Amino acid sequence: MNSQPAAGGGRWVTVDPARLGRWIEGFADRHGPPVVAGHEHGLTLTAPDGATAELHAPPGAPVAADLETFVTEAVVARRIGLLLARKGAVAIGVAEGERLPLHKVDTRYVQGRTAAGGWSQQRFARRRDNQAKAALADAVEIAVRLLLPQADRLDAVVGGGDRRAVDSILADRRLAPLAALRAGRLLDVPEPRHAVLLAAAVAARAVRILVREPQADG
């Protein structure tokens, strides 16, 4: 489980589906038995002391109407397409639970920024831009070969890394079936490697919870 501040207040907590039941029990122990209500992406728990926990269903899971069903659906091992991209690196795979039966990692050199000025800087910028475009084109072709044939068997597609790179890859018209399955979350990952892709398979299944503590009096 990890936690980070949320824009607008509160904090995002990421919980492994297998630990979700215990997390909910802990929330109730700390704040009192909550009232459960549905929202667009999952369920909201509102405790007697004013604390709230907004549970977001993992990618591919249906939005459940009650807490027991939510927890049951969260632990189901779904087939998730993974598309991680950052700079010249891309990692693409199909996760079944935490397994990766299909995967491909590719790295293409993209030059870093230069401090030089004038004509030299412009030349390096053009070269870097061409290298980045070539890397994205390679990533699109990998997605077409590896993920697209699996589209009708995927529950969701989860992106990670650089949002603009992921957006650019999925903007290819051939990948429209994958874009239609794209989940709202974007995984925060370092430069894609095989180990990063394995970790992403775990992270993609996690339940994200927006926790807001009760307001202090006075």
Q: Which helix (H) or strand (E) holds 201?
A: helix 194-203
Q: What is the pLDDT of residues 126-152, one digit of tens each?
A: 665 666 677 789 999 999 999 999 999
Same domain, 35 and 102: no
Tell me the mean pLDDT in the region 187-216: 92
Is the C-alpha dihedral spanning 186, 190, 193, 194 positive or negative?
Answer: negative
- Is 90 exceeded by the pLDDT of residue 216? no
Give me the domain span that covers residue 13: 2-76+206-212
Distance (Å, whole) CA 125 – CA 132: 10
| Residue 179 CA from chain centroid, whole number | 14
> Looking at the DSSP assignment, which residues form a beta bridge with residue 159?
83, 186
Tell me the mean pLDDT in the region 190-195: 92
- Is 90 exceeded by the pLDDT of residue 110? no
Tell me the mean pLDDT in the region 101-109: 85
- Is 50 exceeded by the pLDDT of residue 187? yes
Same domain, 59 and 129: no
Tell me the mean pLDDT in the region 67-73: 96
Model pTM score: 0.86
The answer to the question of residue 34 being in a domain is: yes
**Do 85 and 169 contact (CB within 8 A), yes or no?**
yes
What is the pLDDT confidence band of residue 218, given thresholds at 50, 70 and 90? very low
The answer to the question of residue 218 being in a domain is: no
Q: DSSP letter string over 129-186?
A: HHHHHHHHHHHHHHHHHHTGGGGGG-SEEEEEE-HHHHHHHHTSGGGHHHHTTEEEEE
Instruction: Label residue 209 exposed, middle or buried (CB < 10 Å: 0-12, 13-18, 19+).
Output: buried
Same domain, 103 and 64: no
Q: Token digits for 141? A: 């072709």
Average predicted confidence (pLDDT) for the chain:
89
Amino acid at 123: R
